[in-house]
Amino acid sequence: MHTVKHVLDNPIWNALITGNKAYAEGAETVKLFPRAISPLVGLAENTALYFDRLYEIIPLDTPVVVFAIGEWEIPGSWNILIQIPGFQMVYAGSPIPLIQDEDIVTLTGEHIPQMMALTELTNPGPFSARTNELGHFEGVFKDGLLVAMTGQRLQPYDYIEISAVCTHPDHTGNGYARKLLLRQIHHIMAAGCTPFLHVKKDNTRAIKVYEHLGFEIRKDVTFVVLQKKG
């Protein structure tokens, strides 16, 4: 009997056929973002056949990122460059009012250099020159320096992913990430959607923050960076 999978069991694919559809490139069964937005790729099914189809459309020296949830078949034609264990977490709390804070700024194209610098320093996950186009990026500046930010990335059906949660190492412990997260939760629920996010398993500090805010671990996920073999 065919088992219907949850939308979040294949979040990249489902995002690229629904909420992020305007950005989708690729083929009928393999979808990807423009490289300048994200290296994430989604397959209709996580099988060797679809990895072969991905192989046909990806340039040789171009790493891609997949989220491995459940069983995966990665053919030998791919080099696995990085595997990072993580969790997928879904917000299970109630709607919250919008937190007003004069320190929080809407991030736009003019802020891209600072956004790139902060993500390179803190490594919250893939962040490219046009990732901010995916929406609702907000940040906190101190003395002209971007010290914390969050944004949105995957939008599969009625779920929206909070992404690029990061704080400058010299400015942790001030509650910036918490305020930014609460605002993202508000924005997403006000749009009639459910917030979710992905986090590395070894980031225990962040996991505790997310759980305190009302997120619950839904599934294990492995963030896999792949590159075609020559």
Q: Give per-10-residue mean pLDDT for the chain (230 aa).
A: 77 98 95 95 93 92 94 90 96 93 92 96 90 94 95 98 96 94 97 97 95 97 93
Specify whether 63 is located in the same domain as 27. yes
Q: What are the start-end ranges of the E strands in the chain?
A: 25-26, 30-32, 41-43, 64-68, 78-91, 104-106, 138-142, 145-152, 159-167, 194-200, 215-228
Specify whether 41 is located in the same domain as 60. yes
Which residues form the domain of 31? 7-87+223-228
Asked if residue 230 lies in contact with residue 60, where contact means CB atoms within 8 angstroms, the answer is yes
Does the residue 111 lie in any domain?
yes
Q: Quick one: pLDDT at residue 101? A: 86
Does the residue 168 lie in any domain?
yes
**Under DSSP, is residue 60 helix (H, G, I), strand (E, B) or coil?**
coil
Paired with 221 in beta bridges are 86
Does the residue 1 lie in any domain?
no
Specify whether 70 is located in the same domain as 150. no
Does the residue 35 lie in any domain?
yes
Q: Quick one: pLDDT at residue 1? A: 42
Q: Quick one: pLDDT at residue 63? A: 95
Does the residue 2 lie in any domain?
no
Closest CA relative to residue 183, chosen from 81, 118, 107: 107
Specify whether 206 is located in the same domain as 104. yes
Q: Quick one: pLDDT at residue 72? A: 86
Specify whether 156 is located in the same domain as 195. yes
Does the residue 54 lie in any domain?
yes
The token duo for 186 is: 């508000």
d(CA 226, CA 66): 8
Specify whether 203 is located in the same domain as 96. yes
Distances in whole angstroms, Cα of residue 9 to Cα of each of 66, 89, 132, 215? 12, 12, 24, 17
The token duo for 75 is: 């053919």
Asked if residue 70 lies in contact with residue 46, where contact means CB atoms within 8 angstroms, the answer is yes
Specify whether 75 is located in the same domain as 109. no
Specify whether 52 is located in the same domain as 164. no
Specify whether 22 is located in the same domain as 38. yes
Domain with residue 67: its CATH number is: 3.40.630.30
Does the residue 120 lie in any domain?
yes
The token duo for 15 is: 């995002």
Q: What per-residue string of b and e applies to 75-99 under the rule 16 or more CB within 10 Å gives b? A: eeebeeeeeeebbbbbbeeeeeeee
What total number of domains does the chain contain? Answer: 2
Cut 0.85: pTM above it: yes
End-to-end Cα distance, the chain: 39
Residue at 107: amino acid letter: L
d(CA 110, CA 219): 36
Specify whether 101 is located in the same domain as 201. yes
How many Cβ atoms are within 10 Å of 228's Cβ, its own excluded? 17
Specify whether 158 is located in the same domain as 68. no
Does the residue 11 lie in any domain?
yes
Paired with 18 in beta bridges are none
Q: Quick one: pLDDT at residue 3? A: 54
Specify whether 123 is located in the same domain as 174. yes
How many Cβ atoms are within 10 Å of 64's Cβ, its own excluded? 22
Q: Characterize the bridge pairing of strands 64-68 and 78-91.
A: unpaired
